[in-house]
Amino acid sequence: MRNKVEICGVDTSKLPVLNNDEMRELFKKMHEGDVSAREKLVNGNLRLVLSVIQRFNNRGEYVDDLFQVGCIGLMKSIDNFDLSQNVRFSTYAVPMIIGEIRRYLRDNNPIRVSRSLRDIAYKSLQVREKIVAETSKEPTAEEIAKELGVEPEEIVFALEAIQDPVSLFEPIYNDGGDPIYVMDQLSDEKNLDVHWIDEIALKEGIRRLNEREKLILKKRFFQGKTQMEVAEEIGISQAQVSRLEKAAIKQMSKNIESS
């Protein structure tokens, strides 16, 4: 048995490798209308796609799917590469391949974000950049909300919604030996006595809240639901949920301090 790996029916052990001179010659022929030259450029750079998709191995996606998406990014980079620029093709192509794969992962994320929420988030980022450029200061959610004419809670919720989740097994450092993962940077202090005492105080603080406040905190922090989900379940607006949640936490803090 020979050592080979097949992806999308392609035997990766037989993929060709092009040197810089061969690449430049093929690009010239392609720009002159030679279709076979473009095909050779694609086949000669499939190893580049393979190296890129290794960065996304921990996302739980099928390798074949990532490879096909990466090939789309490769073809786009081949069609748009400018020979007159003093840049290696791989330097130009890798970011485009990565971008294509990230778009695919974002669009196929099981955690769906509504278009209206994405619009608010992207507008918020534009307003933030504008304020930073004008004042050299990081704006608050209230300042961004005022500029867009929405509630501050909507700004916070929208920006949180477009953040990519980070895997606990995402490597953050590797010096050639065993990599350090995100989970290695998280401490477990749940068994400390101070937390046991805090838990008693927390339960007492919650006990003194009214039933609606208890319900909101239960759904938000014990069931892990978003403010939007809680709002839909109890029949009020997301902004109202946010205000009630803040008021409940503030009252609970007072209850704990007076215990």
Task: Name the architecture of domain 193-258.
Answer: Up-down Bundle (1.20)
Report which of 41, 45, 55, 50 is spatially closest to residue 5, judged by C-alpha positions: 50
Q: What distances in angstroms separate CA 234 from CA 215, 231, 239, one per listed residue?
A: 9, 6, 13
Right CATH for 6-107 from 1.10.3720.10, 1.20.120.1810, 1.10.287.610, 3.30.413.10: 1.20.120.1810
Q: Per DSSP, what are the bridge partners of residue 171?
A: 181
The CATH 1.20.140.160 portion of the chain extends over 193-258
In words, the CATH class of domain 115-185 is mainly alpha
Asked whether the beta carbons of 143 and 134 are under 8 A apart, the reply is: no
The CATH 1.20.120.1810 portion of the chain extends over 6-107
Q: Per DSSP, what are the bridge partners of residue 11?
A: 6
Per-residue pLDDT of the chain (259 residues), as tens digits, is 334 455 555 666 677 788 888 888 999 999 999 989 999 999 889 888 888 888 777 666 677 888 889 999 999 999 998 888 777 888 888 888 888 888 888 777 655 556 777 788 888 888 988 888 888 888 888 899 899 998 888 888 788 776 655 555 555 555 555 555 555 555 555 544 445 445 556 676 777 888 888 888 888 888 888 888 888 888 888 888 888 888 888 887 776 665 5
> How many whole angstroms separate alpha carbon 18 and alpha carbon 35?
17
The CATH 1.10.10.10 portion of the chain extends over 115-185
> How many whole angstroms separate alpha carbon 155 and alpha carbon 78?
39
pTM of the model: 0.43
Q: In 11-163, which ranges are continuous DSSP H helix?
A: 20-31, 35-43, 46-53, 63-80, 89-107, 115-135, 141-148, 152-161
Q: What is the DSSP letter of 58?
A: G
